[in-house]
């Protein structure tokens, strides 16, 4: 196992400054921030997040999840959350590895391990913290170490990634990982509905259609959707619309009303009210503030 200072040096060598960096290892992203960030509204997708140094908080509904070098985060479904780097400096930047979950390999491993279903020892959850232990830590370090041996990546990265998923299926977060792995679990069914909602978030919400995607009754779907995401389908749709509106306003010069209509609002005034309620300021002032910030603080 690499020492912490060796892993830190490797992370710094593979991050050209601050920001989020895709790597030659499939599904592996390295994240670096040399300062704490303010609260950022972002969309998390199913992934494993392992911090090397520093700390980050994620806010979902009324819950706060803090992960650092001792605790890793599992994201089970696509989730609009608020995240914030809380421990970082120029001398000791926040460094994190994010490995997007390969659901096909996860399912294959679960079957090979003889896990016949999602289990029921823990409620479904969109986020889960667990203590980082030696075998998982070692495998995650070896995955990053492959960046210094590019010829090995095509051959060894799939093996190390498979080992990481194996460790997750057997570790502290095993119950959640089993729920992610099996298509009949509540998490997987909710995730099917979320995929449909993400594709059609601009259209009027039809909860009955989402429930049908999840193969649930409407009342059961409402219950499990909120258990997993911490919000109702309508609240989820609203966050998708407003996050997309913010992205559009940051990226191109469009009138506020036009952006509101583009993401599905029928009233410009309602769009501006809900935007200000979520982000703390009306669209024009909010975008001006964001454009004045260092770009990496918007990615961390």
User: Would the pLDDT of 171 be above 90?
Assistant: no
In tens, the pLDDT along 23-82 reads: 999 999 999 999 999 899 999 999 999 999 999 999 998 899 999 999 999 999 999 999
Query: What is the distance between the alpha carbons of residues 85 and 96, in angstroms, rounded to a whole number?
Result: 11
> Under the phi-then-psi rule, with left for phi > 0, alpha for psi from -120 to 50, and beta for the rest, what region is 85?
beta
Q: Which residue has the tokens 């998390």?
A: 44
Q: Distance of CA 212 to CAs 150, 190, 205, 208, 219, Å?
A: 45, 10, 13, 6, 11
Backbone φ, ψ for residue 64 (5° rounding): -120, 130
Does the reported pTM lie above 0.75? yes
Q: Backbone dihedral region of 16: left (phi > 0), alpha (psi from -120 to 50 degrees) or beta?
A: beta
Task: Please report which confidence band the pLDDT of residue 251 belongs to, taking 50, 70 and 90 as the band edges.
Answer: confident
- Given a contact cutoff of 8 angstroms between Cβ atoms, the answer to whether 158 and 219 are in contact is no
Q: Which long-range contacts (CB under 8 A, 24 or more apart) does 85-88 make?
A: 85/33, 85/35, 85/36, 85/37, 85/54, 85/55, 85/56, 85/300, 86/36, 86/55, 86/56, 86/57, 87/36, 87/54, 87/55, 87/56, 88/33, 88/34, 88/35, 88/36, 88/37, 88/54
Do domains 1-103+126-154 and 186-233 share one topology? The answer is no
Instruction: For residue 39, give the DSSP letter.
Output: -
Q: What CA–CA distance (Å, rounded) separates 144 from 172?
A: 22
Query: CA 193, CA 213: separation in Å to the nearest integer?
Result: 5
From CA 201, how far away is CA 203, in angstroms rounded? Answer: 5
**Could you tell me which of 251, 271, 250, 269 has the C-alpha nearest to residue 260?**
271
CATH code, 235-297: 1.10.10.60
Residue 247 confidence class, pLDDT cut points 50, 70, 90: very high
Structural domain boundaries in the chain: 1-103+126-154, 186-233, 235-297
Q: What are the tens digits of pLDDT across the range 198-216?
A: 999 999 999 999 999 999 9
Q: What is the mean pLDDT of residues 122-151?
A: 93
Reported as a single tens digit per residue, the pLDDT across 88-112 is 999 999 999 999 999 999 999 999 9
Of 65-69, 202-206, 231-235, 253-257, the least confident? 253-257
* Architecture label for domain 186-233: Orthogonal Bundle (1.10)
- Residue 121: is its pLDDT beyond 60? no
At 119, is the pLDDT very low, low, confident or very high (cuts 50, 70, 90)? low
CA 115 to chain centre: 25
pLDDT of residue 174: 87
**What fold, for 1-103+126-154?**
Jelly Rolls (2.60.120)
């Amino acid at each position: 196992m690499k020492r912490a200072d060796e892993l830190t040096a490797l992370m710094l060598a593979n991050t050209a400054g601050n920001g989020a960096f895709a790597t030659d290892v499939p599904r592996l992203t390295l994240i670096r921030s040399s300062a704490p960030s303010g609260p950022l509204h972002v969309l998390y997708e199913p992934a494993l997040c392992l911090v090397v140094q520093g700390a980050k908080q994620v806010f979902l509904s009324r819950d706060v999840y803090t992960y650092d070098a001792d605790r890793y985060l599992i994201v089970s479904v696509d989730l609009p959350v608020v995240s914030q780097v809380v421990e970082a400096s120029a001398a000791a930047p926040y460094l994190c590895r994010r490995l997007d979950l390969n659901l096909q390999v996860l399912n294959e491993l679960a079957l090979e391990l003889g896990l016949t279903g999602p289990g029921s020892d823990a409620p479904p959850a969109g986020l889960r913290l667990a203590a980082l232990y030696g075998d998982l830590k070692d495998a995650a370090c070896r995955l990053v170490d492959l960046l210094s041996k590019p010829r090995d990546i095509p051959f060894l990265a799939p093996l190390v990634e498979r080992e990481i998923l194996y460790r997750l299926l057997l570790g502290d977060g095993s119950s959640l990982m089993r729920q992610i792995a099996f298509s009949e679990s509540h998490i997987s069914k909710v995730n099917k509905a979320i995929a449909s909602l993400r594709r059609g978030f601009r259209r009027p919400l039809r909860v009955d259609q989402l429930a049908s995607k999840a193969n649930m009754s409407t009342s059961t779907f409402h219950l499990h959707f909120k258990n997993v995401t911490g919000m109702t389908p309508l609240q989820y749709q609203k966050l998708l619309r407003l996050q997309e509106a913010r992205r559009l306003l940051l990226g191109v010069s469009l009138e506020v009303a036009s952006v509101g209509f583009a993401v599905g609002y029928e009233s410009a005034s309602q769009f501006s009210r809900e935007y200000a309620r979520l982000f703390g300021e009306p669209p024009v002032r909010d975008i001006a503030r964001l454009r004045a910030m260092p770009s990496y603080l918007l990615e961390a």
